Amino acid sequence: MREIEQNHKRLLFVSDTHNRFEDILAVKKHAETNSFDAIILGGDIPGRTARSLQKILSTLLKLNTPLIIYPGSHEHQDNYKKALKKFEKNKQLIDASKYTNMIIRYGDYTLVCIPGSNAVANSDKSYQGGSFYLSEKTPRKEDREQTAIRLAEAKISKKVTFFSLKKIQSILTRTKNNPKKTIVCSHIPFLGTKKTDLDFAKFFIATEPFIINEKDMKELVKNDHLEESEDIIHEGNIFEYNLGKAIKKKKYPLKLKQKNVGSASLKKFLEQEKITKFFCGHIHEAGKRARNKKGERVKRNTPVQSLYVNNSQHVMTEITIEKGNKISYQFINI
């Protein structure tokens, strides 16, 4: 088990930067003028290449602050592993895609990092898609093979790495952690039931196959909605809200969906382990939300026993350890 010293009683959680390097520079600047025991990169951090992640890690490791990273729904395993290999001798970097690094001792607290996603990004001609898949338990070999084939045929991902919540739970149980002093960081939210929950998503889904024409593609790329692709869009492909809205506006066959999309398995994990402190990203339109166990809004800088936060994009979240098993948060706009 890795350990981090609890000197400042503060952590910085960041997610969903999607290779916006100006956001990374903002994180670095904020960390230079404030004291944190660690920075947690909670998934969907780089672009489509290993080089983009290498640049991000190289920048943030200059802070000489422990840097915890795990993949979300967009990272491809080949690029992720290639990028991290360059820094494998750097003791400040903790790769929480490895089971041995998912549970971290943080003073008298325990940090649990849960990598992967229950929905990974689509592949195209220049990108092999997200490939880190979170499941309740380790799938049997035949199930893993069938899932990989299904994702590849749907042009969602050409390679898949599975993470098991059951295995993470087994490792956590052996640490004899105190649930009241355990903070879980995931990329994806747990399954909710209301529009105000951390997982309520608005997204678009392709109702039939289509190809974006050259003129529309150039405009979408120019407006920073889309990375250029020549691949066909397949029926069932999913687009986050802003991108889908821009494509739909150009009369392509997309349908708006609105629903809670969090993980039921993750919800079960949190309930079984009696976890009341949780941070995630992934669902952009549900970002900058903080709730307690009852689903009530929690104000910034308010010490509470239970805190569930969706950080998402264009923001970083300060986490402060308070007295009496309480924590507080503060959103910092990027």
Phi/psi at 217 (5° precision): -60, -45
Which ranges of 141-263 does DSSP label H, i.e. alpha helix? 141-153, 165-174, 214-222, 241-248
pLDDT tens digits for range 66-109 = 999 999 998 989 999 999 999 999 999 999 999 999 999 999 99
Q: Is residue 196 part of a domain?
A: no
- Beginning with the edge strand found earlier in the chain, give each strand of the sheet holding 93-95 in spatial order: 93-95, 67-69, 38-41, 10-14, 315-321, 327-333
Across 49-176, the runs of DSSP E, i.e. the strands, are 67-69, 93-95, 103-106, 109-114, 132-135, 161-164
222, two tokens = 């120019």
- Kindly state whether residues 147 and 213 are assigned to the same domain: no
The per-residue pLDDT for 300 is 98
Asked whether 238 and 86 are in contact (CB, 8 A), the reply is no
Q: Is residue 81 part of a domain?
A: yes
- Kindly state whether residues 144 and 254 are assigned to the same domain: no
- Kindly state whether residues 27 and 141 are assigned to the same domain: yes
Read off the DSSP letter of residue 16.
Answer: -
Q: Is residue 266 part of a domain?
A: no
pLDDT tens digits for range 181-204 = 999 999 999 999 999 999 999 999
Across 245-304, the runs of DSSP E, i.e. the strands, are 254-260, 277-280, 289-291
Percent pLDDT > 70 in the chain is 88
53, two tokens = 């992640």
What is the β-pairing status of strands 132-135 and 67-69?
unpaired
- Kindly state whether residues 144 and 182 are assigned to the same domain: yes
The per-residue pLDDT for 123 is 57
- Kindly state whether residues 226 and 312 are assigned to the same domain: no
Structural domains of the chain, count = 2
**Torsion on CA atoms 291, 102, 24, 118, rounded to nearest 10:** -60
**pLDDT at 227 > cutoff 80:** no
What is the distance in angstroms between the CA of the first residue and the CA of the last residue of the chain? 32
Whole domain around residue 46: which residue ranges?
A: 2-189+273-333
pTM: 0.90
Burial class (CB in 10 A: 0-12, 13-18, 19+), 217: middle
Binned at pLDDT 50, 70 and 90, residue 122 comes out as low
- Kindly state whether residues 97 and 145 are assigned to the same domain: yes
Element (H, E) at 119: none
Asked whether 293 and 193 are in contact (CB, 8 A), the reply is no
Residue 273 to residues 63, 153, 164, 193: CA-CA distances in angstroms? 34, 37, 15, 20
Asked whether 162 and 146 are in contact (CB, 8 A), the reply is no
- Kindly state whether residues 67 and 212 are assigned to the same domain: no
Nearest to 334 by CA among 36, 14, 20, 26: 26
Q: What is the CATH number of the domain that holds 182?
A: 3.60.21.10
- Kindly state whether residues 225 and 177 are assigned to the same domain: no
